[in-house]
Amino acid sequence: MNNREIYVKVFLDTLGVEEKELEGLKYQDVPSWDSVGHMSLMAELEEAFDIMMDTEDILDFSSFEKGFEILNNYDVEF
């Protein structure tokens, strides 16, 4: 799997959403992306890409699209 596919899979597995919902998906758009779900998503992404995010980035991770930008800062290329 390439990085984009890994990224998408983490979203699907962690939040239990369908792939068609991902575009434009923002924090708290679905019940599973609540504060606890957010931290779980962050932890799964960290494990998937073998990175450790700063608190500011965890808080700034507000949407599916924003995540690409943040992970780029950790040398995860899409």
Partner 1 sequence: MVNSLIYKKSNIRFLSILGQRGAFGYALTELVKEKSDIIALTGDLCITSGLERFYKKYPDKLINAGIAEQNLFSISAGMATMDYVPFATTFSNFAALRSNEQIRHFAGYLNENIKIVGFGAGFAMGMFGTTHYAIEDISAIRSIPNLTIFSPADCLEVAKVTEAAYNIKGPVYIRLTGVMNHPIVYKDNYNFEVGKSIRFFNGKDIAIFATGIMVSKAIKLKKFFDESNIGVTIFNIHTIKPFDKTSILESLNFKLIVSLEEHSVIGGLGSVIADNLCNFVEHPKLLKIGTKKEYQKAGDYEYMLNANDLSNDEIYMKIIEIYNIEGEKENE
Nearer to partner 1, 39 or 72 (CB): 39
Angle at 7 between CA 19 and CA 69, to 5 degrees: 110
Pick between residue 2 and residue 35 the one whose CB is nearest to partner 1.
35
CA distances 16 to 11, 21, 47, 51, 53, Å, are 7, 10, 18, 23, 23
Q: Could you tell me the smallest distance in angstroms from the CB atom of residue 73 to partner 1?
A: 16
Contact flags string 23-62 toward partner 1, x per CB under 8 A = --------x--xxxx-xx-xxx-xx------xx--x----
